[in-house]
């Protein structure tokens, strides 16, 4: 196993085995943004009979998985200055209780085959501020994403993430 595979495995550990949709991912700084790209596979929905297409619930799960991986890789590799004082131990401690989706929107252009598709997440802007003296800082991530498959399926969206102090 590579370090990247080890990180992905650790990031997905909090998911039930049948809900680990992110099979591979790469994260890098691209100028002013951090970009994560991953391959998703949903062989069977975790909550509904087969609809034949990706739906918004599954997009949310996939987004979370890639987001967690992007944050973990950013901490490990120093890609986001707003998280420069974090260690991976900080990420593991804060992954579930402190990373919150504040706003989520998604537009489907064409149906996507959930059995194999690509997912790209871009951290377009990150900010860090202290809301009150002595409190942990709030980190806000403005992100965009898009999904596509080999048959022209497509969706895109925007998500605001808040990383609150614990």
State the total domains in the chain: 1
Q: What is the pLDDT of residue 5?
A: 78
Q: Which CATH number does the domain housing residue 68 bear?
A: 3.10.129.30
Domain assignment of residue 118, given as a range: 3-163
Query: 91-123, pLDDT tens digit by residue?
Result: 999 999 999 999 999 999 999 999 999 999 999
Check if the beta carbon of residue 145 is closer than 8 Å to that of residue 156: yes
Q: Would the pLDDT of 23 be above 70?
A: yes
Strands (E), the chain: 22-30, 33-40, 99-110, 117-129, 138-148, 154-163
Q: Would the pLDDT of 166 be above 80?
A: no
């Amino acid at each position: 196993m590579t370090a990247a595979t080890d990180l992905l495995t650790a990031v997905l550990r909090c998911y039930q085995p049948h809900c680990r949709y992110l099979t591979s991912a790469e994260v890098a700084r691209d100028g002013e943004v951090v970009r994560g790209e991953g391959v998703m596979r949903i062989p069977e929905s975790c909550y509904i009979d087969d609809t034949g297409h990706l739906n918004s619930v599954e997009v949310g799960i996939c987004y979370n998985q890639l987001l967690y991986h992007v944050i973990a890789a950013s901490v490990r590799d120093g890609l986001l200055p707003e998280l420069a004082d974090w260690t991976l131990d900080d990420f593991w401690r804060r992954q579930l209780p402190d990373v919150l989706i504040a706003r989520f929107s998604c537009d489907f252009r064409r149906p996507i085959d959930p059995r194999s598709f690509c997912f790209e997440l871009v951290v377009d802007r990150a900010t860090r501020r202290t809301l009150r003296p002595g409190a942990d800082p709030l980190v806000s991530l403005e992100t965009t994403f898009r999904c596509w498959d080999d048959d022209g399926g497509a969706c895109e969206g925007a998500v605001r993430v808040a990383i609150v102090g614990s």
